[in-house]
Structure 1
Amino acid sequence: MKDVQNTSDNRGIAIQKVGISDVHLPFFIKTKNGDMQSVLAKIKLTVDLPQEYKGTHMSRFIEVLSEWSQKPVSSREMEQILTDTLARLDARSAFLKIDFKYFVEKIAPVSGLRSMLDLDCSFSATLTQGYPLEFIMGVNVPFTSLCPCSKEISQYGAHNQRGLMRVKIKHEPNRFIWIEDLAALMEAQGSCPVYPLLKREDEKYVTELAYDNPKFVEDVLRDLVIALRSLDYVKWIEVECENYESIHNHSAYASHVEFVER
């Protein structure tokens, strides 16, 4: 049969990214304890397309992803997936992004009860022939913040709220931080961590911990940037902090991007 997408195109426009998006597949993510966690992944996989070609081979993207859906994935495997994609599509550069829910165990601070906290995470990577892999890990972590101004001006109590930290990092080749460790570093910068399961004695503990550790959204962001700078292999960071205000009908927001100087 005639392969129309492999015919020539004379409009003179090379396409930087062409492929498939919103693909949902089961994937396995490597965990810190040496196991793997099954996740439902939402995937985008693309390649570049030279100006002389009319289209790419869409079915080959699914072929590559299907072969990898039962293997545990981290940054090293992302590079192998992209290498396979370059070879299968005869392309010069390829891009892959995997969004997924990842579960970390939380232990209540007093009762010691265990529960699972879901985190929105992502792996994204670009591989271009002749260049090293560019890998970005993204982790979103909820936290509690308590307003320093409210505490200062009030006779008793202070308003607090749940917030969300969003972090993306690039690190040196052959270096890696586990999702569990990055999430723990992140949540330590808020007024108090968030727990899915708390008994009364735990609730008392987290309420008082937040009260003793008041932070504006700006404080949380600055402390988070300093903590990320302490990771000697991190080269680039993008940080967002958002407080879902309890006394306003809007959120408090702060963001920061930098290449980390050594």
Structure 2
Amino acid sequence: MELPDTQSNLPEVRINLTRVGVKNVQKLVEVARPGKRPVIFISKFNVYVDLPSSLKGANLSRNFEVIDEVLQETTEGMVNGIEEVCNAVARKLLDHHEYADRTEVNMKSLYMVKRETPVSKTECDEVVEVHASAIADRNNGKPIVRRMIGAEVTGITACPCAQNIMKELASNKLRDLDVDEEKITAFLDAIPMASHNQRGKGYLMIETDDDQRVELDDIINVLKDSMSARIFELLKRGDESHVVFSAHKNARFVEDCVREMAKQVVQKFSYLPGDSIITIQQTNEESIHQHNAYAERKATIAELKAEIGNGD
């Protein structure tokens, strides 16, 4: 006996719906790499299609089928990296939902990265939060896809303002001890002063056309190098002194981090089309205040190039 297809009935209220789908679909994503072990991502997907006024509901089981199809392709090396997963799902959704003109896929993943500490070369793990999205428009059978890939990374920042206060206090103390000015200057140039620190969270998302490839590791490195210093889960004594020294030698405000990210994006991703959209956010969790500091910039890469070029 053929079961009734209730979703294809006419709805009582006939209006189009912008997004219909499933949220928080948890999957283990395994991305094949030639000659290396596969990369594993623990992921959550949100998957949507638009729905015309002529249909009561969407066939949501097709969304699960499409995700599983694409994830199988990633394990077989048919999808080139985590950057491609959402694109592939968005395109296949158009094939499986013939009534839909628009599909959207959002993915948030935990990515375990192997790191080596700067001095002792101790191996340790680090968790990075990866964000990816894709939106596909049917466009009369020639789908147009815009995709986004980004990450959130944690680092350390040191406050320049408090550091300058401490530098002035140290200068005065050294003068009280009859240390000459030349030695005071040499000492303060060599040894950065104390400051209060923040755990910084940097976020970078890049939106491009479907044919533009952006490497996730490049995004992660831009984020890490935009704060005062990188941090590590495991530190030996030499590593700890290196991280603390580096952070205080490179004190940055939350605004500095965003501007440094923008500069590195322009340098690293100069090949991207000018209409590629860059979203940069930095949140610093303050240590001596109860609030957090925040800065943000959203612009096309062409706009950033123009501003940074003018700044030169």
> TM-score, with normalisation over the residues of structure 1?
0.93
- The separation in 2 between residues aligned to 1:74 and 1:214, in whole angstroms, is 33
Match among 198, 211, 218 for residue 161 of structure 1 = 198
Q: Which has the higher helix share?
A: 2
Q: 1:80 to 1:211 in 2, by over 3 A?
A: closer
Identity over aligned pairs, percent:
25
* Per-residue deviation, residues 37-75 of structure 1 (Å, max 9, x unmatched): 122211111111011111111111112122223332534
Residue pair 1:43, 1:99 contacting (<8 A) in 2 also: yes
* Per-residue deviation, residues 215-238 of structure 1 (Å, max 9, x unmatched): 000111111111112212161111
Match among 96, 101, 107 for residue 105 of structure 2 = 96
1:83 aligns with 2:91: yes
Aligned pairs for 1:95-244 (under 5 A) are: 95-130=104-139, 131-154=143-166, 155=170, 156-230=193-267, 231-232=269-270, 233=272, 235-244=276-285
Give the RMSD, CA atoms, in angstroms.
Answer: 1.9
* Per-residue deviation, residues 71-126 of structure 1 (Å, max 9, x unmatched): 32534443332222111111211111111101222211111111121011111101
Q: 1:31 to 1:248 in 2, by over 3 A?
A: farther
Structure 1 portions without partners, runs of 5+: none
Task: Report the AA paired with residue 247 of structure 1.
Answer: I
Task: Report the AA paired with residue 69 of structure 1.
Answer: L
Match of 2:61 in 1: 59
Q: 1:31 to 1:197 in 2, by over 3 A?
A: farther
1:74 aligns with 2:74: no
Match of 2:188 in 1: none
Q: Which has the higher strand share?
A: 1
Tell me whether 122-131 or 169-178 shows the greater mean CA deviation. Answer: 169-178
Q: Structure 1 residue 30: deviation in Å?
A: 5.7
Tell me whether 208-217 or 230-239 shows the greater mean CA deviation. Answer: 230-239
Larger Rg: 2
Q: Structure 1 residue 34: deviation in Å?
A: 5.8
- The separation in 2 between residues aligned to 1:123 and 1:32, in whole angstroms, is 23
* Per-residue deviation, residues 189-214 of structure 1 (Å, max 9, x unmatched): 11101111110001111111111111
Give 3-state SS (helix, strand or coil) of 1:192's partner: coil
- The separation in 1 between residues aligned to 2:233 and 2:34, in whole angstroms, is 21
- The separation in 2 between residues aligned to 1:40 and 1:28, in whole angstroms, is 9
Residue pair 1:186, 1:224 contacting (<8 A) in 2 also: yes
- The separation in 2 between residues aligned to 1:107 and 1:13, in whole angstroms, is 56
Give 3-state SS (helix, strand or coil) of 2:244's partner: helix
Q: 1:242 to 1:32 in 2, by over 3 A?
A: farther
Residue pair 2:147, 2:209 contacting (<8 A) in 1 also: no
Task: Report the AA paired with residue 176 of structure 1.
Answer: R
Give 3-state SS (helix, strand or coil) of 1:193's partner: coil
Q: 1:157 to 1:75 in 2, by over 3 A?
A: closer
Q: Structure 1 residue 172: deviation in Å?
A: 4.3
- The separation in 1 between residues aligned to 2:154 and 2:35, in whole angstroms, is 23
Residue pair 1:30, 1:74 contacting (<8 A) in 2 also: no
- The separation in 2 between residues aligned to 1:22 and 1:77, in whole angstroms, is 16
- The separation in 2 between residues aligned to 1:171 and 1:105, in whole angstroms, is 28
- The separation in 1 between residues aligned to 2:152 and 2:220, in whole angstroms, is 8
- The separation in 1 between residues aligned to 2:32 and 2:277, in whole angstroms, is 23
- The separation in 2 between residues aligned to 1:34 and 1:138, in whole angstroms, is 23
* Moved segments of 4+, more than 6 Å: none
Give 3-state SS (helix, strand or coil) of 1:70's partner: helix
* Per-residue deviation, residues 126-150 of structure 1 (Å, max 9, x unmatched): 1111242110012001111000011
